[in-house]
Amino acid sequence: MKPRNPLRIALLAYPGMNLIDLSGPLQTFVSAGRVAASAGVSDPRPLYEVRVLSSRGGALMTGAGLSVETEALEALDNLDIDTIIAPGGSVGERFETDPALVAWIRQHAGRARRVCSVCTGAFLLAAAGLLDGKRVTTHWDWALRLQQQFPAIEVDPEPIFIRQGDIWTSAGVTAGIDLALALVEQDYGHKVAIATARQLVMFIKRPGGQSQFSVPLVSQSSENARFAELHAWIASNLKNDLRVENLANRVNMSPRTFARTYVAEQGRTPAKTVEAMRLEAACRALEETDLPLKSIATETGHGEEQNLRRVFQRQLGVSPAQYRSRFSAHQE
């Protein structure tokens, strides 16, 4: 059954925030309403009522230098709230949480169906105590700082967004649009979400499990370039035998020394890098080609088709066929 609409969304704002962290989700919800009729929603009422709130209300300056008009937090005190979204952004190297926003989130989270963050908005949810014991994400450049400041949470810097029950966290910048599209899909179905993505001229509607960044690119952009050539070779030889012994031989190191040195410099095991590169290559093949799954499994080093299915279910929560049906450029 479709939820009763309009659904009221509280977008929180503060000085120095990222403009796109606010405007991206805002435009997504507005666009969803514009395409609703063409996507099969017969109810003429708006899908969403979006309110932009700040601790004091009035105009505030975003990090992009553009002023936005806001309402005071008290504006929703006596109203139902479906979704709370805390955008991100910081003027310095340390995220400074607004105590009034944190207190409001803590007070109103229990009233909302779901609470979300974009980018460093996760610091606000964490300060409110909503993320303890949960796996969350944020912009990859802030992941370590979030983990260090709030050790009771598990920060995963890779996914575009993560859902943990009624808590959703996303990466930064344009990932807020991906999060908002996922919320639209949860509320009104896949057809409305895809129609909204088309309206926004999105190339694809990305799944939450998709990585924030290209694995080979990140691997090669490490400050220590010792393994850059190895990573380039791995990316070009995914169907080869890429066990640690063979990779170690490639860089003229013993397997034990290679494994220890690699983890120390890259932050994960060689096997994890190989798995991530193979998964990324398989996703790209599903998006860009019409090759059968058996061929994709072979070419990306997964071997059997069933191995490819297991990896997709474990890492992305969907089958390769489901991934292709949603994101292939060959789909009508």
CATH number at residue 195: 3.40.50.880
Q: How many domains does the chain have?
A: 2
- Residue 321 resides in a domain: yes
230 and 185 inside one domain:
no
> Per-residue pLDDT tens for 113-130?
999 999 999 999 999 999
149 and 221 inside one domain:
no
> Per-residue pLDDT tens for 11-69?
999 999 999 999 999 999 999 999 998 888 888 889 999 999 999 999 999 999 999 99
157 and 92 inside one domain:
yes
73 and 173 inside one domain:
yes
- Residue 188 resides in a domain: yes
194 and 232 inside one domain:
no
Catalytic status, residue 119: yes
- Note down the domain range covering 295: 215-327
142 and 276 inside one domain:
no
CATH number at residue 253: 1.10.10.60
Report the phi/psi class of residue 189: left, alpha or beta, with left for phi > 0 and alpha for psi in -120 to 50: left
* Active-site entry in 84, 115, 119, 167: 119
Q: How far apart are the C-alpha atoms of 29 and 60, rounded to whole Å?
A: 22
Nearest to 49 by CA among 17, 21, 71, 18: 71
238 and 271 inside one domain:
yes
How does residue 1 score in pLDDT terms, banded at 50, 70 and 90? very low
- Residue 104 resides in a domain: yes
Range with the lowest mean pLDDT among 180-184, 231-235, 243-247?
231-235
Provide the 8-state DSSP code for 176: H
- Distances in whole angstroms, Cα of residue 102 to Cα of each of 18, 54, 263, 286, 305: 18, 11, 37, 42, 47
- Residue 86 resides in a domain: yes
- What's the average model confidence in pLDDT over 216-227? 56
151 and 219 inside one domain:
no
